[in-house]
Amino acid sequence: MSSTSGEAAPRKLERAASGGAVIVAALVGIYMLSQFFRNALGVIGPDLARAFDLDAARLGFLSSIFFLSFALAQIPLGMAIDRWGPRPTMLATAALMIASTVLFAFARNYFELAAARALMGLGCCSFLMAPLALYAERFPPAKFSTITGIHIGGGSFGMLAATAPLAWLAGSVGWRNSFLTAAVIATVMATCVFLFARETPETLARRRARSETLGEAAAGVVAATRIPGFWRIFFIQAAAYSAFASIIGLWIGPWLAQVYGLPLESRGRMTLILAVAQIAGLFFWGASDRWFASYRRPALVGILLALATLAVGALVALPAAALPAFMAAFGFFFGITPVLTAQGKALFPRELTGRGMTLINTGVIGGAFAQQAFTGFVIEAFGAKMVAGVRTYPPEAFRLVFGLLALQLAVALYFYLRAPDLHPERD
């Protein structure tokens, strides 16, 4: 009897690990789409500007409206995750993501582009927070930062797809057909979530047992904001991600095109370097908390190095030969997200995990919206010159953007210094 039990236990653990791996793979797959869509304008932005006669302010708004709708969805998203579960929430938003991608591909004017882009933000709003809520249920706290790093790092291959591969595809079949291709891939990824991303019976039973009214769910949102350390994590995450998203998701294409004269394919290659380095950084920093038995210590190192790269972009007129090294450093140091995410998750009790994490993500994505829109007006204030039918801005405009993002991150870092460090291995 004991021998049979001893043999059954490893098999049970093996099946659980295998099932967990399949779930992670399905969730990473759909998160790749969110990363692809949020960063795609970094490469094709100049082509959209040419096709629809967009100035910097309108291009900035077109990119940022994705993040606005994404951010506005976060509070109801958290309530939906805690009330109905991650899987049905993801499937509902995935249907909207697929439809909005098709609408974007067929857009005939700026209004239709912007409307499709806004719906795309709503469609992608659940592909980070819902998986993290599911991981919080299925994996022990000590592994959460590592799993988060795997999810964000693996999903960031979608960001990588929005660099050289998108540049090649757009150059071959056009940006419209590129987005139709993305819609097909999104359908496949959503099907994988439907088939494999299931919660355990215990989790489902626990959710039914604690069924909340709408008023109780809303009260939980308020309770999450009152947890000590919430706002410190909220602002550092918002500052760090919005700085990264403003560069790779929007201004890197115009910066490389207008300051260095790089064509579409070369811009794709430079952005690819940044994306690969960031993926490496996500996996590296995602495991770093276990080396330090701390969230705050590795986060401070990464944030300071990220701040240094922004300062270099602001203060130094980089020669073209230095661009690959700059791209690699920028991407790697801004890969600190998994540690900050795990530090935020550790603040919340289980019943507030979905709402707490989506509240923080509201700041993350809302910050990206604000910075992309604001920096568009900053660049436009310098005035444009028409070069070969394209609005072109001086190098000083882009350097000021780097400087403003550095200032924002430095202020947030000051407030972060006293954030709680509730690492499970901390004494």
The CATH number of whichever domain residue 273 belongs to comes to 1.20.1250.20
**5 falls within a domain:** no
210 falls in which pLDDT band (50, 70, 90)?
A: low
Sign of the CA dihedral with 327 first, then 333, 156, and 358 last? negative
Q: How do residues 152-192 score in pLDDT, each as one tens digit?
A: 878 888 888 887 888 899 889 999 999 999 999 999 999 99
pLDDT the model gives residue 116? 96
Beta strands in 323-400 (DSSP E): 385-387, 390-392
15 falls in which pLDDT band (50, 70, 90)?
A: very low
pLDDT the model gives residue 321? 93
Q: How do residues 213-259 score in pLDDT, each as one tens digit?
A: 667 777 877 888 899 999 999 999 999 989 998 888 788 888 998 89
Is the model more confident about 387 or about 102? 102
Taking 60 as the threshold, does the pLDDT of residue 7 lie above it? no
pLDDT the model gives residue 82? 77
**211 falls within a domain:** no
pLDDT the model gives residue 102? 96
Whole-number Å distance between alpha carbons of 81 and 77: 6
Structural domain tally of the chain? 1
pLDDT the model gives residue 212? 64
Bridge partners (DSSP) of residue 391 are 386
Averaged confidence pLDDT in the chain: 85
**408 falls within a domain:** yes
Question: Which residues, including other chains, have CB under 8 Å from residue 313's CB and lie 6 or more apart?
Answer: 326, 330, 398, 399, 402, 406
Mean pLDDT of 79-105: 91
Whole-number Å distance between alpha carbons of 36 and 354: 24
Joined together, the tokens standing for residue 216 give 């109780």
pLDDT the model gives residue 17? 45
Q: What is the domain extent for residue 153?
A: 14-204+217-416
**4 falls within a domain:** no
**423 falls within a domain:** no
Radius of gyration of the chain (CA): 21
Mean pLDDT of 388-414: 90
Query: Over pLDDT 70: what percentage of the chain?
Result: 90
Residues 225 and 359: beta-carbon distance below 8 Å: yes
**422 falls within a domain:** no
pTM of the complete model: 0.72
Mean pLDDT of 107-134: 92
Q: How do residues 28-81 score in pLDDT, each as one tens digit?
A: 999 999 989 988 887 788 888 888 988 888 888 888 899 889 888 888 887 788
**267 falls within a domain:** yes
Residue where the block lists tokens 């769910």: 217
Of 109, 164, 113, 54, which Cα lies nearest the Cα of 393? 54
Q: How many CA atoms lie within 13 A of 383 on its CB side?
A: 1
Q: How far apart are the first and last CA of the chain?
A: 40
Whole-number Å distance between alpha carbons of 64 and 71: 11
pLDDT the model gives residue 12? 44
**280 falls within a domain:** yes
Q: How do residues 312-362 score in pLDDT, each as one tens digit?
A: 999 999 999 999 999 999 999 998 988 898 898 889 887 787 778 878 888
pLDDT the model gives residue 77? 86
Taking 80 as the threshold, does the pLDDT of residue 14 lie above it? no
